[in-house]
Structure formats: C-alpha cells, structure tokens
Chain A
Amino acid sequence: DIQMTQSPSSLSASVGDRVTITCRANGDIHNYLAWLQQKPGKAPESLIYAASSLQSGVPSRFSGSRSGTDFTLTISSLQPEDFATYYCQQYNLFPPTFGQGTRLEIK
C-alpha cells in the first residue's frame, strides 16, 4: 500500500496567518492527491483534488501544489472556521490511503 506521511502532525497558528501542510507519498501517485478537512464530530469534507484543483464551494484561500512526490496544502490567511484536522489522500493506487492528519489549532 502507498504510505502517506503528513507534516507537521499538529500546528498552532493565529487568525490571518499563512499556513502550510505537507504530505509525502512513498511512491508515484502522479497528481492523484486530495486534501480533506475534518472538524470535531463531523464528516471529512473535500477541499482539493488532483493536487491543486479546488472543490466547488471551497474558499480561494485554500490552495494545493505538487513537487515530485511532495504535496502541499496552503491556507493563505487563516479564518476562525479553518481550525480543524486536515488529511491528505492518494487515489492513484489501490487501496486509497490517507495521511495521519495535521491538527491545526488556535494559538
């Protein structure tokens, strides 16, 4: 199975900050990488697919990029509703696998 490694595992930031979360795959997943947001007690919601395409309805402060097998989620200016846990997911190879999550907390 493809292993997805996220960093950092947790992060403290303030409203208005620019935040970056990284995900690395241990194999070639091309651009088949999604980012999801999960708030406590809620279902995950898709933010980004194909490494950099924004899911419909997602604010433009979220963006994604790829460099080889490294993928990055950037939030350009944190809003109060962005404090949540973020997961990356590869969907190129079976079975689909997820990173361990990055918990974004208010500083």
Chain B
Amino acid sequence: EVQLVESGGGLVQPGGSLRLSCAASGFTFNNYWLHWLRQVPGKGLVWVARINNDGSSISYADSVKGRFTMSRDNAKNTGDLQMNSLRAEDTAVYYCARSNPALAVYYLDYWGQGILVTVSS
C-alpha cells in the first residue's frame, strides 16, 4: 500500500523556521518525483515545490522561492521541506504527494494526509 506520511508541523512565530518531513512506503521511492502542496483551511490547493528522482532538479512556486528548500534522501525514503522566514500567509495544511515521471511529472497520484503549519505570534 502506498503511504506518504507528513510530520514536523506546528506553531511558529513570523520570521521563524520549520522543517517538514514526508516518509514514503509501499513503492519504489527513487522512481518518483516528490511534491509539496498547501491548502489554507477552507480554501483551494496550491502547489509549492517539487524534486525529481535523484534530487538533482528542484522547482519552487514564486511565493516560496528563496525561503523554502526541498530535499530528499532516497536511502531513507524521505523528503523534506525546510521553511525559513515564515510569514502569516504561509499558514496552511501542507501535503506531500508523488508523481511518476514516466506518466506525467505533475500528475499527483497519491497524497499524504497533510500536516498543519500555523505562523502566528
């Protein structure tokens, strides 16, 4: 069974940092790209960042570029999102998701359950 499990969320002050992790199981991790998306409660879905199979290529949404850093460890089947200089508008539920580059690099076929990040003083 494919599983993606996020951890590391919580409450942080504006300007602070937080590191999210995504633990994958049930599939060959290094065959898939990994993505982070977010959703303000009650609002729509927004793509945040992605990393390719081997970690050599990473892209970010303009809203987080220069503040967020995505990485992965294929030996541990995990992906991380380091979030710095956090702002109130970064408050959201963050999801990790996977895509199969052999099918389509931005088609997200499985998602994690999400983790809440709250940026507030």
A interface footprint on B94-121 (CB within 8 Å = 1, 0 otherwise): 0100000001111111111110000000
CB of B107 within 8 A of CB of A43, answer: no
Q: Does B44 contact A (CB under 8 A)?
A: yes
Please give, as numbers and ranges, the residues of chain B lying within 8 Å of A45 by CB-CB distance.
Answer: 111
**Range class of the A interface residue count:** 20 to 34
Partner of B107, one of A91, A100, A101: A91
A interface footprint on B3-44 (CB within 8 Å = 1, 0 otherwise): 000000000000000000000000000000000000000001
Q: Does A87 contact B (CB under 8 A)?
A: yes
How far in angstroms is the closest Cβ of chain A from B59?
A: 7
B interface footprint on A47-66 (CB within 8 Å = 1, 0 otherwise): 00110000100000000000
Look across to chain A and name the residue whose beta carbon is closest to the beta carbon of B113.
Answer: A43
- What CA separation (Å) do A64 and B61 show in the bound complex? 28
Please give, as numbers and ranges, the residues of chain B lying within 8 Å of A98 by CB-CB distance.
Answer: 44-47
- What CA separation (Å) do A100 and B104 show in the bound complex? 22
Partner of A87, one of B45, B61, B114: B45
- What CA separation (Å) do A75 and B85 show in the bound complex? 43
**Which of A50, A87, A94: most chain B Cβ within 10 A?**
A94
**Range class of the B interface residue count:** 10 to 19
CB of B104 within 8 A of CB of A49, answer: yes
CB of A95 within 8 A of CB of B95, answer: no
Please give, as numbers and ranges, the residues of chain A lying within 8 Å of B110 by CB-CB distance.
Answer: 46
Please give, as numbers and ranges, the residues of chain B lying within 8 Å of A94 by CB-CB distance.
Answer: 59, 106
CB of A32 within 8 A of CB of B112, answer: no
Query: For chain A residues 23-73, which have a beta carbon within 8 Å of chain B?
Result: 32, 34, 36, 42-46, 49-50, 55
13 A-B contacts (beta carbon < 8 Å): A32-B107, A43-B111, A43-B113, A43-B114, A44-B45, A45-B111, A49-B109, A50-B104, A87-B45, A91-B106, A98-B46, A99-B44, A100-B44
Q: List 12 additional A-B contacts (Cβ < 8 Å) besides A46-B107, A46-B108, A87-B45.
A: A36-B45, A43-B95, A44-B95, A45-B111, A46-B109, A89-B108, A94-B59, A94-B106, A95-B61, A96-B47, A97-B47, A98-B47
List A residues at the B interface (Cβ < 8 Å). Answer: 32, 34, 36, 42-46, 49-50, 55, 87, 89, 91, 94-101
